[in-house]
Structure 1
Amino acid sequence: MSRAEAPGAPARRGPGPLWSVGLLRSELVTTLRRWRTLALLAVLAAVPVLVGIAVRIETRGGPGADGGGGEGPAFMAQITNNGLFLVFTALAATLPFFLPMAVGVVAGDSIAGEAGAGTLRYLLVAPAGRTRLLLVKYATVLAFCLLATLVVAVSALAVGALLFPLGDLTTISGTSITFAEGLGRALLIALVVAASLVGVAALGLFVSTLTNSGIAAMATTVGLLITVQILDQIPQLHAVRPYLFPHYWLSFADLVRDPVYWDDLVRNLGLQALYAAVFGSAAWARFTTKDISV
């Protein structure tokens, strides 16, 4: 493996910024070359295709259902009028499970996978320190958050353009905006969705520092994700739900309002920053004191 060469090349570069850039590039390439990562991206790209085909078949079979509401699946009623709505629908469909699961798998494997393969100690031979290595690992997971979200958005945009008309966008507030502005909002929504995953990324990184088994770390992260999602659906926990990281995930729908409703969006981003700070600090405290013997 390419990791076997780690004891030599990075050590000669020294602990400066160039070493960090080189390590980050190496981590990104290594992550994207894994068959597991490619399979996750393929599944994410397939979701908009399946949704688009299903809506197209339903449209041919008879009149579509009337739209309603303004969040998540309610976008589906507008897809036949404007293919750009497929972007919003696909992100709403993948955000509750598929996107965070993919991020949880990559984050959970970030440290534990290296430890299990026996390559973590080789990475630490380079004079960069554990803190910098942990930051590079987290930056790699964040880059995957953005890439995974863009894969869903681009796939949805391509399928929407092929199967449905494009043009001026009617917001869920009933006003009309140009197609260019609609594209801008779609990009902003993709960025917000990617930012909504930083809490899961930090949680997965922390779990990854607790074990030397990549599979155990991935399973634990995904298990915690499912558990928190279930807790967020229990009405009796209404006092706790606003503090659970998935609670405001679908607030990105407010970006399709005119004017945009920012309150829940700000709460979501603030909550993700809090989770990133708490679990990032916990990961740093654990990793910098961890006995690495493999």
Structure 2
Amino acid sequence: MSSREIAVRPGGTLRMFANELATQFRRGRTLAMLGALALIPILLGVAIRIAGSSSPGRGPAFLDQITGNGLFVALAALTVAIPLFLPLTVSVAAGDAIAGEAASGTLRYLLLVPSGRARLLAVKYAWAVVFCLTAAVLVVVVGTIVGWILFPVGPVTLLTGTEVSVVEGVGRVLLIAGYAALSLCGLAAIGLFFSTVTSVPIGAMAATAILAVAAQIVGAIPQLEALHPVLFTDRWLDFGDLLRAPIVWDGFAQNALLQGAYIVVFVGAALWRFARKDILT
């Protein structure tokens, strides 16, 4: 079935999305990035197992609690991955979305279908969102497995001092993975926009990754505090409310609004830019 037939038949967009997922998850680069992310909790768990726990207050959050409860491997690994490793892989996935097709010469064929540009952008952004979720969940799932193998696992003591069961603790960890994935959706929208600006994938990837690092640097400068609330990175590590009893959803909601604003602005900008892009150049 041709791409034109797929798009015009009912459910064509879903078929395009399914094809996109199948293609992307078979790519060696995608598998390599996911494999590298999976190594983070493995290396972290093995290092703590060999060297022992660090002193309280030293190193990433939750690091000093790993030897007492293996579930904290997942949280410590996610804390390590969020500032650099997750943004880097998301930058690659989103930055390559359109620019990669243009560089390989397949973009013009994908746009033979009716309403091709808006449909293609929607499918590409949906793939980037799926990658955000997959990457974050992979880190915590591998971290949970590693923690279960290398350390004792038991009830989890929350930040409020309340103790919850292992099952609920695992549920909280997965919820935090969802929070991390949501936090990266704004960056994915930025990467999609950069991908429509250039036909050189590495340029879009680099611009997205550099912007993520720059935003975090600005967020760490007290003199620029007035800018912090509008940075898409501002709430990346604010998942502590999900470790309280009861859960406080205010931070989650505020992060969703912040990322939603970036999604609207940059996906809209990508659509505007892509609609005017000369595909033949």
Scaled to the shorter chain, the TM-score interval is: over 0.9
What SS does the corresponding residue of 1:146 show, helix, strand or coil? helix
Equivalent residue number for residue 182 of structure 1: 169
Is 2:33 aligned against 1:40?
yes
Contact 1:103 1:197 in 2 (8 A): yes
Larger deviation: 254-263 or 118-127? Answer: 254-263
Paired residues for 1:1-294 under 5 Å: 9-59=2-52, 64-66=54-56, 73-293=60-280
| 1:281 alignment partner AA | G
Alpha-carbon deviations, 1:67-119, whole Å to 9, x = none?
Answer: 58xxx923111111111111111111101110111011110000001011110
CA–CA separation in structure 2 for the residues paired with 1:144 and 1:279? 18
What SS does the corresponding residue of 1:127 show, helix, strand or coil? coil
What SS does the corresponding residue of 1:81 show, helix, strand or coil? coil
Question: Against the structure 1 CA distance between its residues 221 and 163, is the aligned structure 2 distance closer, same or farther, given a 3 Å change threshold?
Answer: same
How far is the alpha carbon of 1:194 from its aligned partner? 0.6
Unpaired segments ≥5 residues, structure 1: 1-7
How far is the alpha carbon of 1:147 from its aligned partner? 0.8
How far is the alpha carbon of 1:215 from its aligned partner? 1.2
Q: Percent identity?
A: 49
CA–CA separation in structure 2 for the residues paired with 1:180 and 1:201? 31
How far is the alpha carbon of 1:14 from its aligned partner? 4.3
| 1:156 alignment partner AA | G
Contact 1:15 1:128 in 2 (8 A): no
Contact 2:42 2:143 in 1 (8 A): yes
Question: Against the structure 1 CA distance between its residues 229 and 67, is the aligned structure 2 distance closer, same or farther, given a 3 Å change threshold?
Answer: closer
| 2:197 alignment partner AA | L
Alpha-carbon deviations, 1:105-153, whole Å to 9, x = none?
Answer: 1100000010111100000112242111110010011111111111111
CA–CA separation in structure 2 for the residues paired with 1:16 and 1:41? 33
CA–CA separation in structure 1 for the residues paired with 2:5 and 2:54? 63
Question: Against the structure 1 CA distance between its residues 200 and 280, is the aligned structure 2 distance closer, same or farther, given a 3 Å change threshold?
Answer: same
CA–CA separation in structure 1 for the residues paired with 2:278 and 2:78? 40
Alpha-carbon deviations, 1:194-244, whole Å to 9, x = none?
Answer: 111100000000000001111111111111111111111111100001110
Unpaired segments ≥5 residues, structure 2: none
What SS does the corresponding residue of 1:173 show, helix, strand or coil? coil
CA–CA separation in structure 2 for the residues paired with 1:224 and 1:125? 33
CA–CA separation in structure 2 for the residues paired with 1:14 and 1:110? 18
Q: TM-score, normalised by structure 2?
A: 0.95
CA–CA separation in structure 2 for the residues paired with 1:14 and 1:217? 27
Question: Against the structure 1 CA distance between its residues 17 and 141, is the aligned structure 2 distance closer, same or farther, given a 3 Å change threshold?
Answer: farther
CA–CA separation in structure 1 for the residues paired with 2:13 and 2:100? 20
Across the aligned residues of Structure 1 and Structure 2, the Cα RMSD in angstroms comes to 1.6
How many residues are treated as equivalent by the alignment?
Answer: 281
- The runs of 4+ residues in structure 1 deviating greater than 4 Å are none
Alpha-carbon deviations, 1:6-61, whole Å to 9, x = none?
Answer: xx6121234244211121111112212222211111110000011111111222xx
Question: Against the structure 1 CA distance between its residues 75 and 133, is the aligned structure 2 distance closer, same or farther, given a 3 Å change threshold?
Answer: same
Contact 1:82 1:165 in 2 (8 A): yes
How far is the alpha carbon of 1:260 from its aligned partner? 2.6
